[in-house]
A and B are shown apart, each in its own frame.
Chain A
Amino acid sequence: MDAVLGRLQQVVELLVVSQLDCVNEWDHQTMLRAFEWAQYCEQVHARSHSNPALRSALESRLHDTNQRLRETLPSYSPVMLSELAQCQHKLLVNLLRNPSSPSSIIHVFSLDRKTAEQGLDMDQIPVITGKSALKLLCCSSDWTSYSGLQNETEVRGKLLKEHLKSILTQYGNENSARILLDSILHDSAGKTENLYGVIAAALLASDDDTNNVSRDVILDWLQIHDGCLSKLCRSLPPRLCCALSRESVTFRRGYCDVLKRWANNLEYDVMHSAWVPTCSITSEETVTFNVLFDRFRALLYSGSPVKEETETKLAELKVESGDFDVKGISVWTDLILKLKV
């Protein structure tokens, strides 16, 4: 076990080294050995699925290594356990990006099948083909699902759900699932709107298991994460939010809360006889009155039980805010009047 952990540590360090200048001292054999070690690491990771003891040992060693490396290199980004499954890929990418890497790196890539490396399982053709075939197909089909999801989003959502499910069944550990979602959120800092679409698709993905634990985990995570649920609801179109409301009571309630919060940040502007946001829309705390209206209308068209629940809720909120029947005092009254409920 100790040897295994030792090797793991070496590979993580190797991944760091592969980004530095010193790789110009590597010869071809050294490079091959590096890939062999990385491959070994992948095999160990695969074994850890069925071996909780191994897994926790790996995690703890990984944690220590990450910490140590961060102390030495401030710009170091920690390696997650799940990333061990693609050690060879990471190594290859690092070396390709590094100007100092040995020029024989090209042979690892096996561009020309005839000079392919023996013994290394590094055929990149399937990745290249798979990635572009995916893009090609996603671009070519205009059809969206009944809830308005594009093919690509739907597929990534399904994969996310599958992955979460496997984490939960294998490790029974909701914490790992949450860490995963955190990492994905962090790493897709550039394009969160797409991410929310993927999360919605994951929530909607149909499932055999009746408990639907993964869905609950995602919903929990959304609510815990400050503002995430609100951001998600904002970026998704009303139709999609309605589909989600139909599928899950938890979401329905969460969505309603979000809408309530948005509505509470509107105030009546007497001069223009309209409800306007109290703070900037870009602060993500609120939306315009019309957007709010559209969303509620969509909910009312979503069939039972969503329709009835929404009506009830709106009535409740009207009463809570003073049960006025005239416009301009309670946003709920005005909404109800406009919705003709």
Chain B
Amino acid sequence: MAAFSETEVQFWMTKAVSWGENTSCSTLLDTSRHLNGLRSFLQQLLQGLQQMSSTSEAMRTFRFVGQFLGRLCWNPCVIADERSQSLLLRCLNCLYSAEPLNAVERKANMWIKNLLCHLISEEEGSVAHAMVKHAGISPERYHMDALEKVVSLMTEEVIKSCDGSPNSSARCSNGNINTMSTACIPLVTCCQAAPLIGALLKHSIICATSCVDEEFIEEVSKAWVSKRLVMEEEAVVALYCHNPVCLEGAALSLLESVLSDPKTVSQNLDKYVNESLLPQASALHCHIFLTVNEIYRNVLMEIDENIAGRALIQVYTNCFLQRLTALKPQDRLPLRAFFPNLPPSLLGPLLTAASEVPRTAWLDHLGWIRRSLQRVVESEEEDGDARAYQAVFDAWFLLVQCGFWVDTAAELLVLAESENSEALLWLLTFFHHPTNRGHQRSQQTVVAKEAWVHIRMLFHGRPPLPRHLCAMKDLLSSCLSRNLILHLFLNFAVFSHGPVSFTTEIIDKVLIDAGVKQRALWILSAIDCRLNRTAVSLEDRVQSRLKMLRETLLAPCAETLP
């Protein structure tokens, strides 16, 4: 049984009564500011009512409920907010008796029906009533039209009140803007009100003395981040630019959605990233890019070996670079601005887009990347001080961001000869194990080479030999370098020549463990994004491999089947 404290009930009853006295502007503004609290109270009330076995019991237990709900129904602010409206209606539904057993219940039913009637129609004898009655269209249509027109009028007023120039002769009528924005808090997710919401948002950004209510802006960012609101790109970028809390929320929310639903998100990672509008905003504003990176760097540092996080960073950076190059040269900052603290010798090779390098030159390009990285690593090994260590971490993070080059190296390893493999394996190892301390990089390099040899033998043998299959499974589940090995393995699965049936057999026998499958999905999604970018039509072979791999990975585990 939900227990309400006497003070809580008193508080909200007093509020409801004072709001009900008159629907003046100040009443509505007060309601607007208390909406969050009201919603949680209504939620509790709803839960309490749902546990009642009859209306009579409900009225006895919650004596205030009739007056309370009744008064709230006359408050347009409460009704206009979709969440509190829904809670209110559901509470009323709880109090309605399908088969009333006594006078109290019959009366309650009539009262509820009257309330509902009031909610959908205008007061008789009023001009509004006459207009709706004779409009020749449904009341819904009439109210939508009227709402659109009011929104249009008010949007114009907001736009006219400030044009953003510092010496604007038009005085900013601050009082009105503040009132309007507070009143609009419940309407943030109402699609008819979208132009007004956008105009108020813009106003808060371009007008130096803007008085747009803070809670309004907060409500807008919460609605955007939790995907209850669709906004124009320009508005979102402005929001990110001027509201650090919103930007952080959006970055973390993207990460959360990535981590919480791998099966869905990994299939379309670049779509999710682009929908967040973070790449677009980052291309336009350097500080946004730096902030998002900072957040993701910290996450990466806390969660060791997080494949999903790395895939996200890689795809995000890829999308960002795409947007950046699409901007007009005069509108964009040089790349150095986005990657401070990194030497140009590193930025050069890593930030080159894969599409700008012909396939035949990939090996050379990767060699260049390797040499630049190695220089940083070697100076750390020599100096051993904190600054040098930081330099290695920064370089490694850049490699994570430009992970499409690592994927390229992995692809080349599928067909490479021994003499070319060394640089490629080095890159792969560095990517998965950046430092010697705690990661034993030198040991990993050896393991990587051995794994590569094993995988090559596995995929070149026709048919795949059982002992190779077993060895592969062991390697994938061992603690050492399992991500690196999985990475290599998947690239072989996608790019190696030979009939699909052989590859299918290998996959079926090797990728069994649920944890392995999950990590594999992420690696695959990064590969997919890279291939989409190169704008070269995928060979049928590669297409079918990717498709088949996905299907295998998404199918339920043998162990979990009943």
A residues neighboring B (CB under 8 Å): 42, 80-83, 85-86, 88-89, 92-93, 96-97, 99, 101, 103-106, 109, 111-112, 124-143, 151-152, 154-156, 158-160, 162-163, 166-167, 180, 183-184, 187-191, 194-195, 198
Contact = CB atoms under 8 A, between A and B. Distances in A.
Given A103-B98, A187-B133, A159 B149 contact: yes
Contact of B120 (A105, A127, A159): A127
B128 interface: yes
Given A103-B98, A111-B92, A155-B146, A137 B112 contact: no
25 contacts: A86-B137, A89-B138, A96-B114, A96-B117, A101-B113, A111-B90, A124-B119, A125-B85, A126-B143, A127-B120, A127-B139, A131-B76, A133-B190, A134-B146, A135-B23, A135-B76, A136-B76, A137-B184, A140-B25, A142-B25, A152-B150, A167-B136, A183-B130, A184-B130, A188-B126
Contact of B179 (A93, A132, A142, A188): A142
B192 A140 contact: no
B97 interface: yes
Given A83-B133, A139-B76, A99 B110 contact: yes
A22 B461 CA distance: 86
Interface string B15-26: 000000001110
Contact of B150 (A138, A162, A189): A138
B514 interface: no
Given A93-B121, A96-B116, A136 B149 contact: no
Contacts of B173: 143
Contact of B117 (A82, A97, A111): A97
Interface of B: 23-25, 28-29, 76-77, 79-80, 82, 85, 89-90, 92-93, 96-100, 109-110, 112-114, 116-117, 119-122, 124-131, 133-140, 142-147, 149-151, 153-154, 157, 173, 176, 179-180, 182-184, 186-187, 190, 192-193, 196
Given A133-B190, A133-B193, A126 B131 contact: no
A124 B92 CA distance: 15
A82 B136 contact: yes
Contacts, number: 209
A152 B28 CA distance: 16
Nearest to A80: B134
Given A111-B93, A130-B147, A159-B145, A106 B133 contact: no
Contact of A103 (B79, B97, B127, B131): B97
Contacts of B97: 103
A197 B29 CA distance: 27
Contacts of B154: 137, 141, 143, 151
A194 B128 CA distance: 9
Given A99-B110, A106-B96, A183-B130, A139 B24 contact: yes
Contact of B136 (A103, A151, A163): A163
B140 A127 contact: yes
Nearest to A176: B136
Contacts of B149: 154-155, 158-159
A112 B109 CA distance: 16
B134 A136 contact: no
Dominant secondary structure at the B interface: helix
Given A129-B79, A130-B192, A187 B120 contact: no
Given A132-B79, A156-B131, A140 B183 contact: yes
Contacts of A88: 138
A180 B138 contact: no
Contact of B127 (A92, A134, A154, A195): A195
A190 B124 CA distance: 9
A275 B24 CA distance: 40
A140 B179 contact: yes
A19 to B, nearest CB: 13
B192 A97 contact: no
A267 B457 CA distance: 118
Contacts of B135: 82, 85, 159, 163
A97 B149 CA distance: 31
Contact of B157 (A99, A133, A143): A143
A154 B151 CA distance: 12
A82 B137 CA distance: 7
Contacts of B100: 103
- Nearest 8 pairs of A and B residues by beta carbon: A140-B183, A130-B143, A190-B125, A82-B136, A187-B130, A132-B76, A132-B79, A135-B76
Nearest to B23: A139
B93 A187 contact: no
A154 B79 CA distance: 23
A162 B176 CA distance: 29
A189 B143 contact: no
Contacts of A85: 135-138
Given A93-B117, A103-B109, A127 B143 contact: yes
A154 B134 contact: no
Contacts of B176: 141-143
Contact of B129 (A109, A160, A188): A188
Given A86-B138, A97-B114, A136-B183, A92 B150 contact: no
A21 to B, nearest CB: 14
A194 B127 contact: yes
A136 B146 CA distance: 13
B193 A187 contact: no
B80 A126 contact: no
A191 B127 contact: yes
Given A140-B180, A190-B126, 6 more contacts: A131-B79, A137-B196, A151-B153, A151-B154, A159-B135, A194-B127
A60 B367 CA distance: 89
A86 B132 CA distance: 9
Contacts of A143: 154, 157, 173, 176
B145 A128 contact: no
Contact of A191 (B29, B98, B126): B126
B131 A109 contact: no
B98 A155 contact: no
Given A99-B110, A106-B93, A154-B153, A124 B125 contact: no
A156 B477 CA distance: 71
A82 B136 CA distance: 4
A133 B142 contact: no
Contacts of A133: 76, 80, 147, 187, 190, 192-193
A42 B127 CA distance: 24
Contacts of B125: 187-191
